[in-house]
Amino acid sequence: MLNINTLVRPCIARLKPYSCARDEFKGEARVFVDANENPFDENKYNRYPDPLQLAVKQRIAELKKVRATQIMLGNGSDEPIDLIYRIFCEPTVNNAVAIAPTYGMYGVCADINNVEYRSVNLNNDYSLDANRLLAAVDANTRVIWLCSPNNPTGNLLNRSEIKKVLEGFGGIVVIDEAYVDFASEESWLSELDNYPNLVVLQTFSKAWGMASVRCGMAFASEEIIGYFNKVKYPYNINKLTQEFVLNRLQNVELKEKQTKIILGERPKLALELEKLALVEKVYASDANFLLVKVNDAPKIYNQLAQKGIVVRSRHNIVLCNNCLRITIGTADENKVIVETLKEL
Ligand X SMILES: *Cc1c(COP(=O)(O)O)cnc(C)c1O
Footprint of ligand X on this chain (CB under 6 A)? Answer: 76-78, 103, 147, 151, 176, 178, 203, 205-206, 211, 216
Beta carbon nearer to ligand X, 4 or 128: 128
List phi, psi (to 5°) of 38: -75, 125
Q: Which residue is at the shortest CB distance from ligand X?
A: 76
User: How many CB atoms lie under 10 A from the CB of residue 36?
Assistant: 7
Q: Are strands 71-74 and 216-219 parallel, antiparallel or unpaired?
A: antiparallel
Which is closer to ligand X, CB of 133 or CB of 147?
Answer: 147
- The residues, any chain, with a CB within 8 Å of residue 248's CB and separated by 6 or more, are 204, 208, 209, 210, 254, 255
Q: How far is the CB of 287 from ligand X (least distance, A)?
A: 8
Q: From the CB of 24, what's the least distance to ligand X, in Å?
A: 31
Across 155-294, the runs of DSSP E, i.e. the strands, are 172-176, 198-203, 216-219, 279-282, 289-294
Minimal distance, residue 126 CB to ligand X, in Å: 14
Helix or strand (DSSP H, E) at 333: helix 331-343
- CA 184 – CA 193 distance, rounded (Å): 22
Q: How many CB atoms lie within 10 A of CB 8?
A: 23
DSSP string, 252-264: HHHHHHHHHHHHH
CB of residue 271 to ligand X, shortest distance in Å: 24
Min dist. Cβ of residue 156 to ligand X (A): 13
**Please, which residue, 99 or 341, has the CB nearer to ligand X?**
99
Cβ closer to ligand X: 288 or 334?
A: 288
Residue from 167, 139, 151 nearest 98 by CA:
151
Amino acid sitting at position 63: L
Residue (4 or 99) nearer to ligand X, CB: 99
Q: Rounded to the nearest whole angstrom, what is the least distance from the CB of residue 325 to ligand X in the complex? A: 10
Helix (H, G, I), strand (E, B) or coil at 332: helix
Residue 44 DSSP one-character state: S
23's enclosing H/E stretch is: helix 21-24
What is the number of residues in the chain? 344
Question: Toward ligand X, which CB reaches closer, 207 or 304?
Answer: 207
Would you give the distance in Å from CA 41 to the centre of its chain?
A: 36
The nearest distance, CB 259 to ligand X, in angstroms, is 15
- Orientation angle between helical segments 252-274 and 331-343, nearest 10 degrees: 20
Whose Cβ is closer to ligand X: residue 162's or residue 341's?
162
Q: Could you tell me the smallest distance in angstroms from the CB atom of residue 318 to ligand X? A: 16
By beta-carbon proximity to ligand X, the closer residue of 108 and 276 is: 108
Distances, alpha carbon 217 to alpha carbons 60, 80, 191, 238, in Å: 9, 8, 16, 15
**Shortest CB 78 distance to ligand X, Å:** 4
Of 105 and 344, which CB lies nearer to ligand X in the complex structure? 105
